[in-house]
């Protein structure tokens, strides 16, 4: 079942690897990419008996690209449809960047239905942009600039954003591949989700999470500062914070082996 219908005229693309795996992990990708950003996890985790399910959120990758529905509530509703349609239970939910924000909203909105563990990776929580009482995130003006560039020169925006994504010296070919993931999205969806990133606030949501939670975050993250991970850790009771000393936002590639190992260890914890 490569597509899940979430509402009239909107289907979400789903890739299901190793359906007979002993453990199930549902991955929610970050802005502005799609589920293929987890290629280097999907190459390895199924070998450990792990079922990996990657979704393209609406507007991105191979999913349908409606004009509306890019609030965290709507995107969490889409995840709920995937979980119910695939009859998933006792799974680990992995959210990267805005995928982490969507995961947190899902946990609050649906009381963690079907989820036994949560992994927040470079997560855009609790707040992606600065507030008068929250100085740790990006200035609103920087996100407005990304939105403007999306509507005027999206290929260049994606290229420049990719340069800030990683702390490692990624090859030009890798960076071109990564930018290409963003081009698979619709421009309108890219801008609309950036607006949600700019405006939504998850400070009350994170306090409602009660499942075992691991927070993976790069020390040198230029997109979501490490201070956000520390605050999230403080607000999720019993959570574990795993710093990545040589990583930026793209820690799943910056420290690929360490991330795959730490995630697998987290999945194996009883």
Q: Domain holding 191: CATH number?
A: 3.40.50.1820
- What one-character-per-residue DSSP string does 115-177 give? EEEEEEES---SBSB-BTTB-SSB-HHHHHHHHHHHHH-HHHHHHHHHHHH-SS---HHHHHH
Question: Has 97 been annotated as catalytic?
Answer: yes
Into how many domains does the chain fold? 1
Catalytic residue, from 78, 205, 221, 254: name it: 221
Distance of CA 234 to the CA centre of its chain: 20
CA distances to 123, 132, 140, 156, 217 from 137, in Å: 12, 11, 9, 23, 14
Catalytic residue, from 74, 205, 249, 254: name it: 249
Question: Has 87 been annotated as catalytic?
Answer: no
Dihedral class, residue 129 (left if φ above 0, else alpha if ψ from -120 to 50, else beta): beta
Which pLDDT score is estimated for 201?
98
Catalytic residue, from 63, 74, 97, 122: name it: 97
Provide the 8-state DSSP code for 222. S
Which pLDDT score is estimated for 1?
60
Helix/strand/coil for 183: helix
**Is 233:212 a contact under the CB 8 Å cutoff?**
no
Q: Using alpha carbons, select from 190, 184, 196 the residue that is nearest to residue 151.
A: 190
- Could you tell me the residue range of the domain that residue 62 belongs to? 3-268
Copy the structure tokens of residue 168.
Answer: 């490692």
Handedness of CA 208, 214, 218, 223 (dihedral sign): negative
- What one-character-per-residue DSSP string does 34-85 give? -GGGGHHHHTTGGGGTEEEEEEEPTTSTTS---SS--SHHHHHHHHHHHHHH
Contacts of 180 (CB under 8 A, 6+ apart): none
Give the span between the Cα atoms of 233 and 48, in whole angstroms. 28
Over the chain (270 residues), the average pLDDT of each successive run of 10 is 92 97 96 98 96 98 98 98 97 98 98 98 98 96 98 97 96 97 98 98 97 98 98 97 98 98 92
């Amino acid at each position: 079942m490569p597509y899940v219908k979430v509402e009239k005229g909107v289907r979400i693309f789903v890739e299901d690897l190793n359906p007979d795996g002993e453990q199930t992990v549902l991955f929610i990708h970050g802005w502005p990419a799609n589920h293929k950003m987890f290629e280097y996890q999907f190459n390895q985790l199924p070998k450990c008996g792990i079922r990996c399910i990657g979704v393209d959120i609406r507007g991105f990758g191979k999913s349908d690209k409606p004009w509306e529905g890019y609030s965290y509530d709507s995107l969490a509703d889409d995840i709920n449809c995937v979980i119910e349609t695939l009859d998933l239970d006792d799974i680990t939910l992995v959210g990267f960047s805005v995928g982490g924000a969507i995961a947190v909203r899902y946990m609050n909105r649906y009381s963690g239905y079907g989820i036994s563990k949560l992994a927040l990776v470079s997560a855009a929580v609790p707040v992606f942009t600065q507030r008068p009482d929250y100085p740790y995130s990006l200035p609103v003006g920087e996100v407005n600039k990304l939105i403007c560039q999306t509507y005027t020169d999206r290929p260049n925006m994606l290229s420049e954003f990719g340069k800030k994504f990683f702390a490692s010296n990624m090859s030009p070919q890798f960076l071109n591949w990564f930018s290409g993931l963003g081009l698979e999205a619709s421009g309108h969806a890219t801008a609309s989700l950036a607006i949600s990133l700019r405006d939504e606030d998850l400070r009350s949501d994170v306090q409602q999470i009660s499942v075992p939670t691991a927070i993976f975050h790069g020390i040198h993250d230029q997109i979501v500062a490490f201070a956000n991970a520390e605050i999230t850790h403080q607000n999720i009771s019993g959570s574990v914070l795993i710093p990545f000393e040589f990583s930026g936002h793209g820690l799943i590639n910056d420290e690929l082996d360490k991330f795959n190992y730490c995630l697998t260890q987290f999945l194996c914890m009883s």
